[in-house]
Amino acid sequence: MRAVVQRVTSASVAVDGEVVGAIGPGLCALVGVARSDDAACARRLARRLWHLRVFEDDTGKMNRSAAELGRALLVVSQFTLCADTTRGRRPSFVDAAPAEEAEPLVEVLVQQLTELGATVATGRFRSPMAVSLTNDGPVTLVVDA
């Protein structure tokens, strides 16, 4: 699994103009699931996101995690993160897990985050989504599990 993670002051996701998930300060994670991923990958990614030290401490260094600060996460499925762009001009998505395999793994990720103590908002799987966010820093990382 791969996530593009942004530290945000706020983030939301809407489907057909209706906000279906929103957070204040925290992390926005766009999550891609590959065919080779399994539930263990989802649980590992959840732990990495929750404990990722990207928030500033009192000295201005990125030493604090969402777990330490009680920050929320917005998790949005994003199959295009599994695209192969090494050849040609059109991305190949053959490595992306089909929706019926990816959706349960994103659910495992969200469930694990919740069990770890996170407040989690989500998008809506298999729906065109509009994601809005205010990147804080800006801080943007790619996290693989």
Alpha helices in the chain (DSSP H): 39-51, 66-69, 99-116
Is the distance from CB of 48 to CB of 116 less than 8 angstroms?
A: no
Q: Of 36, 113, 40, 30, nearest to 72 (Cα)?
A: 113
Q: What superfamily would CATH give domain 2-144?
A: D-tyrosyl-tRNA(Tyr) deacylase (3.50.80.10)
Residue in 79, 93, 119, 125 annotated catalytic: 79
78 is catalytic: yes
Residue in 6, 9, 59, 80 annotated catalytic: 80
Cβ neighbours of residue 115 under 8 Å, at least 6 residues apart? none
User: How many residues in total does the chain contain?
Assistant: 145
Residue in 6, 78, 112, 122 annotated catalytic: 78
Helix (H/G/I), strand (E/B), else coil: 107: helix
- pLDDT tens track, the chain, 145 positions: 999 999 999 999 999 999 999 999 999 999 999 999 999 999 999 999 999 999 999 999 999 999 999 999 999 999 999 999 999 999 999 999 999 999 999 999 999 999 999 999 999 999 999 999 999 999 999 999 9
